[in-house]
Structure 1
Amino acid sequence: MGGGDDGAQAGAVRLRPLLREDAARIHEWASQPTACRFQPWGPNSPAETEVFVDGAVAAWEQGPQMRWVWAAAAADTVVGIGEVQRKEVDAAEISYAVHIDLWGRGIATCIGRLLVAWALENLDVGRITATCDPRNVASEHVLRGLGMQLERTESHSLMLRDGWRDSYVFSLARREWSARMEE
């Protein structure tokens, strides 16, 4: 199943491997234009959500494992998802999504902390990266709150429904995370 523990917890939010039975809950937000307006996917049909979930579940069984997708749960209810992908020999990328009914409650920050901690504890990487659309101020706030630094802006990096999207690329070195955890 990949490196380390298959679950992590911060406050009321816990990460556990994504399950096929999570698809209906994920589809509640993956089908909403608001949830995907800064993403190259969506709004999803039920079949598209099933394909995503099936791929995420299958990733836990692949070797060598390069992708880990979790359900973020609070009180046994899926409130979001988190993902870690090994992108380079010494780097992993995190991403997350939160149910739109729960935005603004700090859940994305909790998921982000769990993802960074898991990646640095279980993968032999020295650097964590994440990207966001420059218009997605909430996600930028989450990434900065994790201690990530804006590294660069990639122009025309993704095609969205409304045209090309630029991407902010954020990064966090292991030493920066360790220093932050010691504070």
Structure 2
Amino acid sequence: MILRKRAPTHRGIALPIETPRLVLRDFRAGDVEDVHAYASREDVARYMIWGPNTPTQSREAVEGFLEDQRRRPRIAYDLAITLKGGGEVVGGAGLSIVDRANRLGDLGYVLHPDFWGFGIAAEAARALLDAGFRELGLRRIVASCDQRNKASARVMERIGMRREGAFRQSKFIQGDWRDEYLYAILAEEFLS
């Protein structure tokens, strides 16, 4: 269950987003150390298009999130995942509007390994799907993962996304061609 404090506006996502265990909020300048704690790790960055980050790269990533927060209309919602009652950033989840005319969004998430396997990524991703469909009025949300990233594929399947494609050598990442899966879900599927 997702707890919403404001009525949908279709102009933006009402933040913070609270779920039973999490608070998803905009990143803050003071989050750099928490972000670097996961973004600098090889086991986290292995399937990502970034990293492992240097301290400078983690700081620049947070600065980029802060810049995106100021853009109007806002099209990128890169949010800090925090545990209720804690405040420490344990990961990030993002939803970007990639095609406003066709109401298409793109979803992503990352967690510190200490929090893998507890359903946190699925809970955060589900909250962003809900916000994307109800508040942004999106029609379709997609997500992709490296084909070797079985845990990420399971998260997408757990939240109701359907695998729509398998792409061979579709991205050149960290000096290597990567195969990826594409997942998607429609508003009518999620909201029914």
TM range (shorter): over 0.9
Match of 2:185 in 1: 172
Q: Deviations over 1:54-77 (max 9, x none)?
A: 001110101221111111111212
1:66 counterpart = 2:79: no
Q: TM-score by structure 1 length?
A: 0.93
Match of 1:80 in 2: 91
Q: Could you tell me how far 1:84 is from its partner in structure 2? A: 0.7
Q: Deviations over 1:8-57 (max 9, x none)?
A: 11111110111111110010010011001011210100000111110011
Match of 1:129 in 2: 142
Q: Quick check: 1:57–1:69 contact (8 Å CA) kept in 2?
A: no
Q: Quick check: 1:8–1:14 contact (8 Å CA) kept in 2?
A: yes
Aligned structure 1 segments of 4 or more residues deviating by more than 4 angstroms: none
Q: Alpha carbon RMSD of aligned pairs, Å?
A: 1.2
Match of 2:151 in 1: 138
Please tell me the residue identity of whatever aligns with 2:124: I
Distance 1:78 1:12 in 2: 13
Match of 2:8 in 1: none
Match of 1:114 in 2: 127
User: Percent of pairs identical after alignment?
Assistant: 28
Structure 2: stretches of 5+ with no match in the other structure: 1-10
Please tell me the residue identity of whatever aligns with 2:126: R
Secondary structure of the structure 1 residue equivalent to 2:72: coil
Distance 2:24 2:95 in 1: 12
Q: Could you tell me how far 1:125 is from its partner in structure 2? A: 1.2
Distance 2:60 2:107 in 1: 20
Q: Could you tell me how far 1:160 is from its partner in structure 2? A: 2.4
Q: Quick check: 1:67–1:84 contact (8 Å CA) kept in 2?
A: yes
Match of 1:3 in 2: 12
For residue 42 of structure 2, the aligned residue among 33, 40, 52 is: 33
Q: Could you tell me how far 1:162 is from its partner in structure 2? A: 5.7
Count matched residues: 178
Structure 1: stretches of 5+ with no match in the other structure: none
Secondary structure of the structure 1 residue equivalent to 2:118: coil
Match of 2:31 in 1: 22
Secondary structure of the structure 2 residue equivalent to 1:132: strand
